[in-house]
Amino acid sequence: MPVEVRLPTVLRPHAAGSSAVEAQGATIGEVLGDLTAHFPGMAGQVLTSDGSLHRFVNVYVNDDDVRYLDKLDTKVSDHDVVSILPAVAGGAG
């Protein structure tokens, strides 16, 4: 089933500038797999080479960060909104 995936500005150039696209899947892993299959330019920025969630992005289902749910196994259903945002960090070090 399709869900809406909201994209951060840094990923929009890979989707012809769209701020939101549709992707298919019953879990976050499937949705991100479908997303990166359609927009291969995003692949390395969203998932690592071993298929796990990249540490430089945060992914949400509605209001919840999937790292605190079931990560890539988090279930999604119709009308859910998946949001991807950059993980923002740094500091004096």
Output the smallest distance, CB 7 to other proteins, in A.
Answer: 11
Q: Binding to other proteins (CB under 8 A): which residues in 49-78?
A: 56, 58, 60, 63, 65, 67
- Stretch binding other proteins (CB under 8 A), from 27-35, 36-44, 71-79, 84-92: 84-92
What CA–CA distance (Å, rounded) separates 44 from 62? 23
Output the smallest distance, CB 56 to other proteins, in A.
Answer: 6
Closest by CA position to 25, among listed 36, 15, 17, 11: 36
What CA–CA distance (Å, rounded) separates 59 from 71? 9
Enumerate residues 6+ apart whose C-beta is below 8 A from 73. Answer: 27, 28, 29
Output the smallest distance, CB 81 to other proteins, in A.
Answer: 10
> Which residues in this chain contact other proteins in the complex, by CB under 8 A?
8-10, 56, 58, 60, 63, 65, 67, 83, 85-93
